[in-house]
Structure 1
Amino acid sequence: MDDFETAARLLDGAGTIAVVGLSTNPGKSAHSVPAAMQASGFRIVGVHPSATELLGHRAYQRLADIEEPVDIVNVFRPSAEAADVARQAVAIGARALWLQQGIVSAEARRIAEEAGLAYVEDQCMAVVRALTGARGTAS
């Protein structure tokens, strides 16, 4: 299965997406993509080192601080940080790790796949959602 097929399958039935690097700046993709996903029925949980609220919901400093199950960890951080985020995603029991368009990491892929997480890299979540018509299951 290629990354696009994996990505489409992941969005089908996903509810909660933790976004590491969700931006406070509405002009950045790291803000507009998660906002579009939220508008499509996905619960977006922002992970940001200093924000207390993002997209109208509580934000967390670390993945480990999130108090609910996470379906997908979506990464808007540089490729060099992806392996660390992969370890954190494994630690919280996420089902999948998704690196946004332009982000690739062989080490993050290895960490995720060895732990049984589905893995997508270098794909824009909002583009895949638009092409597949996926809707989130969050209420």
Structure 2
Amino acid sequence: MNASELRAYLEKARTIAVLGAHKDPSRPAHYVPKYLWERGYRILPVNPRFAGEELFGERVVASLRELGEPVDLLDVFRPPEALMDHLEEVLALRPGLVWLQSGIRHPGFEAALREAGIPLVADRCLMVEHRRLFP
């Protein structure tokens, strides 16, 4: 996905689910979604460790299945070896775009998303890209 496509997508996106959202402000899984939330995106946090608590004005859910609403973008903060465990949920959710954060790649997971027609950005930081595209 080139810069103009990314920019257009991020301009129209409103709801971002964050798989692996975290409460610790020093962790990227907290400060990246916080940055996006502060820029007007609705953040839907997903992490079984914090289910029922509140982050970014929303209740944390344990799994993607619990979201029950369309998601424009799925921002993933999970180790590569855990991605296939989430594949069925991701395919059922059918987000408009899946974003694998910096350092996250999994050829099988990525191929399954492409085969399902779900656009994907891998091994890039959403916050860094957003800052670059919207200075």
Q: TM-score, normalised by structure 1?
A: 0.87
Alignment partner of 2:17: what SS?
strand
- Map of 2:133 onto structure 1: 132
- Count of aligned pairs: 133
CA 86–98 in structure 1, closer or farther in 2 if over 3 Å, else same: farther
Counterpart for residue 34 of structure 1: 33
1:45 matched to which residue of 2?
44
Equivalent AA in structure 1 for residue 34 of structure 2: A
Runs of 4+ aligned residues of structure 1 deviating over 6 Å after TM superposition are: none
Q: 2:12: which partner in 1?
A: 13
Higher RCO, 1 vs 2 (CA within 8 Å, ≥6 residues apart): 1
Alignment correspondent of 1:90: 91
Gaps of 5+ in 2: none
Unaligned runs of 5+ in 1: 135-139
- 1:125–1:100 distance in 2 versus 1, CA, 3 Å: same
State the one-letter code of the partner of 1:22: A
The TM-score, its normalising length taken from structure 2, stands at: 0.89
Q: Distance in 2 between matches of 1:101 and 1:127?
A: 10
The alpha carbon displacement at 1:9 in A equals: 4.1
The share of aligned pairs that are identical, in percent, is 34
Moved more, 8-17 or 100-109: 8-17
Structure 1 residues 27-36 or 47-56, which shifts more? Answer: 47-56
